[in-house]
């Protein structure tokens, strides 16, 4: 499945209206905001097709997945939106992650757990809030709101150390940038090690650069750790490949169209996260050209002055040259 | 004191809503402490042991309470069990602390619940350390979730 899908589910008393853009959406937040009620309403609609007070408007079929027979149920579901309420232990398993990866559904999961086996985006973690929009109709309206903003720093970030989640091209790029600017650059060999590193280096000026498209499972604890620390900051583009594509180096209008509405292009069955999609696009679009991109080894052309400048210029509020320019 | 084990805990009851359904007792619902808790978290009024007035859902039975409140009630009354309190939002944190004010309770958390800016006392069982602020708690417990 791909695309943006709007879901409106309502009864006489309640109304939910929201859009899904990716294969994985997480709902969490305070108790009594209506998360379980939303799933209950969808279950009611699906289980009683001949007569239900619940109305559901969506261009895709919706289902609720639960219990020990989840795998069998999932085998019968395709091209649909699948809701999973909290209390279903299977969502934490490798088996679940491996199974849904091969499906063409979108999943909406109610859970406050980090769920490290699922590559969900920091942008697709929502809470539910009540709006007064339909108050006069005596129908209480619920909408989703993003729990984490992205890259919204007001102050300038001037790090002494940059850390990246792996040692691929992104790390190789920033390692070179750091070398030129007398900064340090470290790879964490996996996003789950970022928290521990930050925890052990509390007084250092650190910038974390990670793939926002799959950083959702780490976001809560990392955000809570650094929220009161002005010496630490997060930069979470979709991925390093997205950063290159967005820089305009490729000069292709088709790429820009994809970046404008990725959800119209990312086939969920093929790409478990958008990070993988952007990598595939970059490799494909640069194949057999001087810009040929490899994930494992950075093509030195991306370290040319013009390419470097184009990539780094997108990192607004982040000053990597402060040491050599201010000295 | 509130004792918290962070991360997977085999003996903890994971699906607290399902457990509550067949375990709650009428007397628990009309307990003055529970009434106050339901009013605060769910903004709902207990009319009697079987009926609660919700501003959103109308008249509901106890099993219609929020997952967070149901878990809090279990923690309060089912003292010998360990429950997964990641079914509780941050708006339940102060109630967990209040329940464990006079009697020890052990709970399981799979995320970093926010206990607020004021000082509190919580024992992190993973390291057997007592912490008094979110800064201390996140630094220690964050390694296990």
CATH number of the domain bearing residue A40 = 3.40.50
> Do the domain assignments include residue A154?
no
What local confidence, expressed as pLDDT, does residue B34 receive? 98
Dump pLDDT digits (tens) for B70-92.
999 999 999 999 999 999 999 99
> Do the domain assignments include residue A155?
no
Q: Which of B58, B67, B142 sits opposite A199 (nearest CB)?
A: B142
Span between the terminal Cα atoms of chain B, in Å: 21
What local confidence, expressed as pLDDT, does residue A139 receive? 73
> Do the domain assignments include residue A156?
no
Q: Is the pLDDT of residue A137 over 50?
A: no
Q: For residues A198 and A195, what is the distance between their CA atoms, to the nearest angstrom?
A: 5
* Arithmetic mean of pLDDT, A184-207: 97
Same domain (yes/no): A40, A173: no
Q: Which of A35, A37, A113 sits opposite B110 (nearest CB)?
A: A113
What local confidence, expressed as pLDDT, does residue A135 receive? 44
How many structural domains comprise chain A?
2
DSSP readout, B55-121? TTTEEE-GGGS-HHHHHHHHHHH-TTS-EEGGGS-GGGHHHHHHHHHHS-EEEEESS-----SS---
Dump pLDDT digits (tens) for A32-72.
999 999 999 999 999 998 889 999 999 999 999 999 999 99
Question: How would residue A236 be classed by pLDDT, with cut points 50, 70 and 90?
Answer: very high
Same domain (yes/no): A65, A168: no
Which of A10, A91, A112, A117 should we substitute to test contact with B (largest number of B Cβ atoms within 10 Å)? A112
What local confidence, expressed as pLDDT, does residue A226 receive? 95
Q: Is the pLDDT of residue B8 over 50?
A: yes
Environment class of A104 (CB within 10 Å of its CB; exposed 0-12, middle 13-18, buried 19+): middle
Give the residue from A146, A177, A210 where a domain finishes: A146
Question: B68 and A32 in contact by Cβ < 8 A?
Answer: yes
What local confidence, expressed as pLDDT, does residue A325 receive? 83
Give the ipTM of the model, two decimals please. Answer: 0.96
- Hey, which residues does A71 pair with through a beta bridge? none
> Do the domain assignments include residue A153?
no
Same domain (yes/no): A104, A174: no
Closest chain B residue to the Cα of A142, Cα to Cα: B56
* Arithmetic mean of pLDDT, A2-15: 95
Same domain (yes/no): A291, A187: yes
Cβ(B93)–Cβ(B111) under 8 Å?
A: no
Which tokens belong to A198?
């930050």
Closest among A226, A230, A215, A100 to A156, alpha carbons compared: A230
Closest chain A residue to the Cα of B88, Cα to Cα: A31
What local confidence, expressed as pLDDT, does residue A133 receive? 56
Same domain (yes/no): A117, A165: no
Closest among B110, B122, B112 to B14, alpha carbons compared: B110
φ, ψ for residue A176 (rounded to 5)? -70, -40
**A window 73-102, beta carbon within 8 A of B:** 86-89, 92
Question: B89 and A29 in contact by Cβ < 8 A?
Answer: yes
The percentage of chain A sitting over the pLDDT mark of 70, rounded to a whole number, equals: 96
CB-based contacts of A274: which residues, under 8 Å, 6+ apart?
A22, A121, A213, A238, A239, A242, A262, A266
Distance from CA of B123 to the nearest CA of A (A): 19
Which tokens belong to A72?
């069998």
Which tokens belong to A189?
């060999």
Dump pLDDT digits (tens) for A140-162.
788 888 888 655 677 889 999 99
Q: Is A13 in CB contact (< 8 Å) with chain B?
A: yes
Q: Is the pLDDT of residue A87 over 60?
A: yes
Distance from CA of B6 to the nearest CA of A (A): 11
How high does pLDDT run on average in chain B?
97
Range(s) of the domain holding residue A53? 5-146
Question: A221 and B145 in contact by Cβ < 8 A?
Answer: yes
Same domain (yes/no): A257, A280: yes
Same domain (yes/no): A278, A177: yes
What local confidence, expressed as pLDDT, does residue A138 receive? 60
**Which residues of chain B are within 8 Å of residue A217 when distances are taken between CB atoms?**
none
What local confidence, expressed as pLDDT, does residue A16 receive? 95
> Do the domain assignments include residue A82?
yes
Q: Is A68 in CB contact (< 8 Å) with chain B?
A: no
Dump pLDDT digits (tens) for A276-316.
999 999 999 999 999 999 999 999 999 999 999 999 999 98
How high does pLDDT run on average in chain A?
93
Question: A220 and B17 in contact by Cβ < 8 A?
Answer: no
Which of A13, A26, A28, A31 should we substitute to test contact with B (largest number of B Cβ atoms within 10 Å)? A31
Q: For residues B129 and B125, what is the distance between their CA atoms, to the nearest angstrom?
A: 7
Question: How would residue A130 be classed by pLDDT, with cut points 50, 70 and 90?
Answer: confident
């Amino acid at each position: 499945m791909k695309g943006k899908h709007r879901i409106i589910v309502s009864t006489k008393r309640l109304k939910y209206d929201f859009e899904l853009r990716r294969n994985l959406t997480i709902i969490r937040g305070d108790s009594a905001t209506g998360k379980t009620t939303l799933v209950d309403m969808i279950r009611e609609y699906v289980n009683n097709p001949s007569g239900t007070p619940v109305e559901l408007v969506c261009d895709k079929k919706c289902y609720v997945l639960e219990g020990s027979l989840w795998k069998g149920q999932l085998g019968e579901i395709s091209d649909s939106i699948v809701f999973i309420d909290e209390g279903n232990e299977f969502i934490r398993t490798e088996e679940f992650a491996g199974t849904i990866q091969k499906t063409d559904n979108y999943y909406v999961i109610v859970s406050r757990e980090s769920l490290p086996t699922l590559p969900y985006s920091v942008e697709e973690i929502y809470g539910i809030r009540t709006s007064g929009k339909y108050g006069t109709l005596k129908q209480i309206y619920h909408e989703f709101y993003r729990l984490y903003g992205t890259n919204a720093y007001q102050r300038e970030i001037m790090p002494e150390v940059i850390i990246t989640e792996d040692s691929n091209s992104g790390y190789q790029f920033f390692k070179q940038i750091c070398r030129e600017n007398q900064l340090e650059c470290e790879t964490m060999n996996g996003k789950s090690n970022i928290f521990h590193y930050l925890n052990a280096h509390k007084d250092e000026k650190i910038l974390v650069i990670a793939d926002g498209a799959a950083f959702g499972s780490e976001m809560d604890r990392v955000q809570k750790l650094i929220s009161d620390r002005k010496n630490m900051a997060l930069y979470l583009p979709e991925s390093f490949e997205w950063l290159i594509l967005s820089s305009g180096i490729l000069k292709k209008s088709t790429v820009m169209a994809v970046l404008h509405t990725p959800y119209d292009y990312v086939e969920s069955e093929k790409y478990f996260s958008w990070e993988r999609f952007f990598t595939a696009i970059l490799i494909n679009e640069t194949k057999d050209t001087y810009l040929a991109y490899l994930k494992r080894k950075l093509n030195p052309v991306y370290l040319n002055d013009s390419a470097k400048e184009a990539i780094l210029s997108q990192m607004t509020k982040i000053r990597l040259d402060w040491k050599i320019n201010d000295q | 004191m509130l004792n918290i084990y962070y991360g997977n805990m085999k003996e903890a009851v994971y699906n607290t809503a399902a457990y509550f359904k067949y375990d709650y007792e009428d007397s628990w619902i009309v307990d003055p402490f529970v009434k106050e808790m339901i009013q605060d978290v769910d903004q709902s009024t207990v009319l009697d042991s079987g009926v609660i007035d919700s501003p959103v859902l109308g008249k509901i039975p106890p099993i219609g309470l929020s997952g967070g409140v149901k878990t809090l009630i279990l923690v309060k009354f089912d003292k010998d069990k360990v429950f997964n309190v990641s079914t509780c939002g941050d708006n339940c944190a102060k109630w967990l602390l209040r329940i464990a004010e006079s009697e020890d309770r052990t709970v399981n958390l799979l995320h970093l619940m926010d206990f607020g800016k004021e000082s509190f006392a919580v024992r992190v069982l993973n390291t057997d350390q007592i912490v008094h602020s979110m800064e201390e708690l996140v630094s220690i417990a964050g390694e296990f979730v």
